[in-house]
């Protein structure tokens, strides 16, 4: 009986698990849109975690295969873009509001 239990423990279940996928453009348009939607959410989550863990500011901007813009940033997309464009270290609230309005007009 003991031998039978030992043999069962040695046997491993074989599963496919996570497999690497080849990184190339997805040919089928609908599959490409689905992959973009799922991966966009993952990238935004990782960027948000990085911001919280490391205290960094970031901006994420992407256009879907259908041409729709998506943006996300911390503390806000507009403040990070304004800081990048002006190369300033501290955001000015008044300038930030004006720049935010202008960027919203451009990206929507």
Tens of pLDDT along the chain (108 residues) come to 555 555 555 666 677 788 888 889 999 999 999 999 999 999 999 999 999 999 999 999 999 999 999 999 999 999 999 999 998 665 555 556 667 667 766 766
CATH of 30-107 given 3.40.1810.10, 3.30.200.20, 2.40.30.10, 3.40.50.1820: 3.40.1810.10
Show the tokens assigned to 33: 């849109």
Q: Are 72 and 44 in contact (CB under 8 A)?
A: yes
Does the pTM exceed 0.75?
no
For residue 57, what are the contacts with CB-CB under 8 A and spacing of at least 6? 51, 73, 74, 75, 79, 80, 83
């Amino acid at each position: 009986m003991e031998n039978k239990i030992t043999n069962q423990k040695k046997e491993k279940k074989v599963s496919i698990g996570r497999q690497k996928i080849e990184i190339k453009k997805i040919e089928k348009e609908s599959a490409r849109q689905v992959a973009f939607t799922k991966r966009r959410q993952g990238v935004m989550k990782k960027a948000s975690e990085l911001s919280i863990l490391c205290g960094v500011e970031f901006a994420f901007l992407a256009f879907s295969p259908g041409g729709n813009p998506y943006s996300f940033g911390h503390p806000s997309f507009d403040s990070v873009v304004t800081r990048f464009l002006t190369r300033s270290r501290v955001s000015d609230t008044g300038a930030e509001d004006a720049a935010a309005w202008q960027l919203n007009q451009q990206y929507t």
